[in-house]
Chains A and B, each alone.
Chain A
């Protein structure tokens, strides 16, 4: 086996890890789309907002410090405490629940029965709002997020795979953070499945996803379910925000992971949780392998921006509902 082959393998494995992170974001989209038919563009910004809030709480930043200083001429920045990571995460989860309640109360409730495109636009509006609000609240500079997840290459994997290749092969390089993220994503999906199968609220959730009117007629409160779903999407955004934030810092570009998750959704189908996961893995591996094999040598690189979309586009032409999406039946 040549070194190129092993390097390709390493790219493949890293693609798999990135794919897990993509599916994590896509999962939030799917949950909301299934339960309310809303294509929530704000999912990426929710991850950014969650990460910003987490960092802010952990470092004891004063919310809206910049604004307060501008208006009153004061110089407040920090409360001067450092919260432990776990407490900060719990508090942030609380903030995401509040966010879900606010979204339901002030946006969704007023937009019931509007066409899909209007709801979609509303979430874009929400994305803009939260982007500005998050920056206003916590400041827009790049922040470092550290909740104690190990980072850097994982030595154990590197050493234990070194025997595979020749003398010039030192084992697969995998980031510990990616491994932790993959584990957490797996746990998250598992707990979601358990939650929706074995709890009362979970069953109600599935009923709403199946048929809004039927669910209403058996006494399930749609509004409560929406709050639950948006809260769960908020938790997923929080996990995604922690993983991406630890990886590359908390900054505006974090919200762009939403754009990475969209082709995953197309590929997997908007309504399928397994689809989001398999789609994420395919896209993650696909774009890394394409960049490695074709993009970087022949096309001048940076193909990751569009490859996922093109792949999904070509795929959809042959299967318009995605891999696992519900079959589209159209009647006049």
Chain B
């Protein structure tokens, strides 16, 4: 009834190719944005920010990045943790070397540094395919973590081997360091996430995204119809690493504040991001958000129920969390291999016909 294309006449090409062709979707999009920008900052507190909202926003960026590479371009990567570490350490080096730079440029620059590293580790993808490539990206993961552990220049020769985010302000409000306010951090993260998501959505709709998808579906056939596999694969690696690097930088400056590389950006991180992409849905920007929300919310929920309600020991709850996360992933893959995004698509299809059955 309210969710129809009917009656919504498109009179220009721009109208015809817009992101949300259905009017209701457009309104919903603006309502969600308005809620996120105008309402949430007034009600958010430290607990919600650090337990749910900030990890969700940051992981969403990482998931979008990996989704570009794995979901759109078909190159499975298990090196996301390593690339996040590159973003975080680049961010730290920029912040300590150029104290005058504002936080947005620092994060952006870290993204570019990570993109360069991503291209470097993407080069083998021109020769190696499938699982061989997935395992090869683990080389990036282990090598980068080792590098940041062993070369003191990266952590400015600090005794603990940790990196700590110095304080930076935006319009006079501290957003990194010890004296931050929840709403300020939230808004900084939100601005970055929204911008990146809009860019990603439009990239994947455009010619670059089509090239990626052609490579994903069959790279030899794509090459024959004129897609250059080198530029397509390397651009996917570069842009994906750019996103992952930015999420790493945000993870460090906005969320953790102090990072020990093996702990924060280990192999586990790579897997969590891959889970988000798979559970959310390969090849979907919405799916990246949905997957990130799922993987962030579920452990919080489980912990609250098992430790808070049932009063179990935390180690027992941690084991149960593993069992449940693993079990849910299997169940999810069996019931809906295309992820949450597919459920969302089905719901929209149903809604278009509602209240009629056909």
Residues of A near any B CB (own CB < 8 A): 39, 66-67, 70, 107, 110-111, 114-118, 120-122, 124-133, 135-136, 140, 259, 262-263, 265-266, 270, 299-303, 305-306, 309-310, 312-313, 316-317, 320-322, 328, 330-332
Q: A306-B146, A312-B136, A320-B132 are in contact. List 10 more A-B contacts (CB 8 A).
A: A111-B333, A121-B333, A122-B333, A128-B323, A129-B326, A132-B320, A132-B326, A259-B267, A270-B132, A317-B128
B345 at the interface (CB under 8 A from A): no
A224 CB to closest chain B CB (Å) equals 21
B-side contacts of A321, CB under 8 Å: 132
Task: Known A302-B146, A309-B143; judge A330-B326 contact (CB<8 A).
Answer: no
Q: In the assembly, what is the distance between CA of A226 and CA of B16, in Å?
A: 51
B130 at the interface (CB under 8 A from A): yes
B294 at the interface (CB under 8 A from A): no
> In chain B, residues 287-336, which have Cβ atoms closer than 8 Å to a Cβ of chain A?
312-313, 315-316, 319-330, 333-334
Q: Is the CB of B131 within 8 A of A120?
A: yes
Q: In the assembly, what is the distance between CA of A129 and CA of B324, in Å?
A: 7
A-side contacts of B278, CB under 8 Å: 117-118, 121
Q: Is the CB of A263 within 8 A of B220?
A: no
Which of A66, A121, A265 makes the CB contact (< 8 A) with B135?
A265
Q: In the assembly, what is the distance between CA of A160 and CA of B96, in Å?
A: 59
Q: In the assembly, what is the distance between CA of A302 and CA of B321, in Å?
A: 31
B71 CB to closest chain A CB (Å) equals 10
B170 at the interface (CB under 8 A from A): no
A325 CB to closest chain B CB (Å) equals 9
Chain A to chain B contacts (Cβ below 8 Å), 7 pairs? A122-B330, A129-B327, A136-B319, A259-B267, A313-B139, A321-B132, A332-B220
B-side contacts of A128, CB under 8 Å: 322-323, 325-326, 329
Q: Is the CB of A313 within 8 A of B220?
A: no
Q: In the assembly, what is the distance between CA of A299 and CA of B218, in Å?
A: 41
B108 at the interface (CB under 8 A from A): no
B43 CB to closest chain A CB (Å) equals 34
Q: Is the CB of A310 within 8 A of B333?
A: no
Give the secondary structure class of A's interface.
helix
B-side contacts of A313, CB under 8 Å: 124, 128, 136, 139
Task: Known A124-B271, A125-B329, A136-B319; judge A309-B334 contact (CB<8 A).
Answer: no
Which of B136, B145, B330 makes the CB contact (< 8 A) with A107?
B330
Q: Is the CB of B146 within 8 A of A125?
A: no
Q: Is the CB of A140 within 8 A of B337?
A: no
B72 CB to closest chain A CB (Å) equals 14
Which of B134, B139, B220, B313 makes the CB contact (< 8 A) with A312?
B139
Q: Is the CB of A302 within 8 A of B150?
A: yes
Task: Known A303-B146, A309-B138; judge A130-B326 contact (CB<8 A).
Answer: yes
Give the residue name and chain of the B residue nearest to A118 (CB). Answer: B337
B274 at the interface (CB under 8 A from A): yes
Residues of B near any A CB (own CB < 8 A): 70, 76, 124, 127-132, 134-136, 138-139, 142-143, 145-146, 149-151, 218, 220-221, 224, 267, 271, 274-275, 278, 282, 312-313, 315-316, 319-330, 333-334, 337
Give the residue name and chain of the B residue nearest to A41 (CB). Answer: B271
Q: In the assembly, what is the distance between CA of A126 and CA of B142, in Å?
A: 23
Give the secondary structure class of B's interface.
helix
Q: In the assembly, what is the distance between CA of A207 and CA of B238, in Å?
A: 43
Task: Known A124-B329, A132-B321, A316-B128; judge A332-B218 contact (CB<8 A).
Answer: yes
Task: Known A70-B312, A129-B322, A316-B136; judge A305-B142 contact (CB<8 A).
Answer: yes
A124 CB to closest chain B CB (Å) equals 6
Task: Known A130-B326, A299-B150, A332-B224; judge A121-B131 contact (CB<8 A).
Answer: no
Q: Is the CB of A312 within 8 A of B135?
A: yes
Q: Is the CB of A320 within 8 A of B150?
A: no
Q: Is the CB of A135 within 8 A of B322?
A: yes
A-side contacts of B134, CB under 8 Å: 120
B-side contacts of A330, CB under 8 Å: 220
Q: Is the CB of A320 within 8 A of B220?
A: no
Q: Is the CB of B327 within 8 A of A110?
A: no
A101 CB to closest chain B CB (Å) equals 16
Which of B70, B142, B322 makes the CB contact (< 8 A) with A131?
B322
B-side contacts of A312, CB under 8 Å: 135-136, 139
B-side contacts of A121, CB under 8 Å: 274-275, 278, 329, 333
Q: In the assembly, what is the distance between CA of A120 and CA of B139, in Å?
A: 18
Give the residue name and chain of the B residue nearest to A45 (CB). Answer: B326
Q: Is the CB of A310 within 8 A of B220?
A: no
Give the residue name and chain of the B residue nearest to A121 (CB). Answer: B278
Q: In the assembly, what is the distance between CA of A117 and CA of B216, in Å?
A: 13
Q: Is the CB of A317 within 8 A of B131?
A: no
Which of A66, A117, A126, A140 makes the CB contact (< 8 A) with B326?
A126
Q: Is the CB of A70 within 8 A of B316?
A: yes
Q: Is the CB of B127 within 8 A of A317?
A: yes
Task: Known A121-B278, A130-B326; judge A116-B333 contact (CB<8 A).
Answer: no
Which of A39, A67, A129, A306 makes the CB contact (< 8 A) with B143?
A306
A-side contacts of B327, CB under 8 Å: 125, 129
Task: Known A136-B316, A306-B146, A316-B127; judge A332-B333 contact (CB<8 A).
Answer: no
A99 CB to closest chain B CB (Å) equals 14
Of the listed residues A114, A121, A310, the one surrounded by the most CB atoms of chain B closer than 10 A to its CB is: A121
Q: Is the CB of B333 within 8 A of A320?
A: no
